[in-house]
Amino acid sequence: MKNKKVISWAPGRINIIGEHIDYNDGYVMPAAIDRGTRFEIMANGTDSEVELHAQNIDDRVRFKIGEAHGLPTWAKYLYGVLMELIGYGAEIGGFSATFSGDVPIGSGLSSSASLECSFARGLIELWDLQLDDWQLIKACQMAEHRYVGIKCGIMDQFASVMGRAGQVLRLDCRDLSYEYLPCDLGEYRIVLLNSHVSHELATSAYNDRRAQCESALEKIKSKHKGIQSYRDVDQHLLNTVSVDLTEFEMARARHVVSETNRVLRASEALSAGDIAMLGAFMYRSHESLSQDYEVSCPELDTLVELTRSDERILGSRMMGGGFGGCTINLVQELYVDSVIDRMTREYHTAHGIELTSYQLKIGDGAQIISSTTYADTCL
């Protein structure tokens, strides 16, 4: 009998610009980061017994493949990934897995995609599964849809798997074509500021926004027969159907159309080395997310407003699903510490909450750290 131990890792992600449009066939501009989730997985010699150990919270679950009930939320993500891989025809036996990570939960850095993609990468290696990166990405996305109840787009999992150090991705979420863009920010650095709030609205409001976008698009299609997706809609066309949309539908659609255009223009600015213009688009993105898509919150709005009068900061916006988490900021490198000190004081004055900052590097995507086969050994 041969036993195998696999150590896998997958990162969280940032998104420079392009929020809440991945599930609306828009463009997004994410990148993998140098924080992630590390799994150690080994076969345990059984047909279907699984044991999972979440080290960060010291919680364990045991179940049989296909027979799991009453799992805690963190385990539903993993069970969903497991069942989605099996849905591709993968033959997976019993195993034990231990994992830990340093992606802050609820920060908008997609700790969930990091968790899913590291787990999936490890299982594929452990069981020698003939699945490609796209199948891995899709399995992780659908795990959230079917087992957690979050109808996420594909951006988070895509960035976690496909990221490259020093480069951002521009992903076309309509046809899944993509390109890598060098991320040379010159004298500026990416700094995340964690609001340390996580409003309960997040999951239900996320699904509500998606439903509103879908209903608006259906109404647009009924008026314009050539429309297939939001990519066929510009602001002029949207204005022509405004009387047919509810106030909420119009606002959501306006964000999707304008944000898609901002991603294209922001990627041009990045490629041209115009970091000031990139920052300007980030500010406009936040305004749209706050006012039209209504997924910001007072704490995030405060963090963005506190940057506007600081010439050492070129851009700021909320990042991730919203209602809490982090803002992403372009800060002049020489003044990062003093900017953080000021923001910490003023944010605490405004909301009585301590601020946490992260200075991140853009890193590589999901990978196998080691894979070792042991002969005639029980692990």
Q: Domain limits at 97?
A: 2-182+363-375
- The CATH number assigned to the domain holding 239 equals 3.30.70.890
> Do residues 114 and 193 both lie within one domain?
no
Please report, as a single letter, which amino acid is at residue 179.
Answer: E
d(C-alpha 289, C-alpha 293), whole Å = 5
165 with 207, same domain?
no
- Residue 111, both tokens: 């700790």
Tell me, yes or no, whether 225 and 237 share the same domain.
yes
Q: What is the pairing mode between strands 188-198 and 324-332?
A: antiparallel
Nearest partner of 97 among 113, 80, 112, 118, judged by Cα: 118
The three-class DSSP label of residue 111 is: helix
Catalytic residue among 22, 102, 132, 156: 156
What pLDDT is attached to residue 13? 95
Q: Are residues 369 and 321 in the same domain?
A: no
Q: Tell me the pairing of strands 49-54 and 95-101.
A: parallel
Amino acid at the residue 156: D
**Which pLDDT value is given to residue 199?**
64
Q: Is 133 a catalytic residue?
A: no
Domain count, the chain: 2
Please check whether residue 338 is in contact with residue 309, taking contact to mean a CB–CB distance below 8 angstroms: no
Q: Where residue 25 sits, what CATH number does that domain have?
A: 3.30.230.10
Question: Do 254 and 302 share a domain, yes or no?
Answer: yes
pLDDT at 367: 98
The kind and range of the H/E element at 115 are: helix 111-126
**Residues 309, 171 within the same domain:** no
pLDDT computed for residue 378 by the predictor: 45
- Both 242 and 333 in a single domain? yes
Cα gap 339→225, rounded to integer Å: 51
User: pLDDT 10s digit of each residue in the chain, 379 long?
Assistant: 358 899 999 999 999 999 999 999 999 999 999 999 999 999 999 999 999 999 999 999 999 999 988 999 999 999 999 999 999 999 999 999 999 999 988 777 889 999 999 999 999 999 999 999 999 999 999 999 999 988 888 999 999 999 999 999 999 999 999 999 999 999 999 999 999 997 655 567 888 999 999 999 999 999 998 999 999 999 999 999 999 999 999 999 999 999 999 999 999 999 999 999 999 999 999 999 999 999 999 999 999 999 999 999 999 999 988 888 999 999 999 999 999 999 999 999 999 999 999 999 999 999 999 999 876 544 4
Burial class (CB in 10 A: 0-12, 13-18, 19+), 228: exposed
| Residue 175 and residue 35 in one domain | yes
**Across-strand partners of 194?**
326, 356
CB-count burial class (<10 Å; 0-12, 13-18, 19+) for 57? exposed
The whole-angstrom separation of Cα 285 and Cα 318 is 9
158 and 252: one domain?
Answer: no
Quick one: tokens of 17?
A: 């610009």
Q: Can you give the pLDDT at residue 322?
A: 87
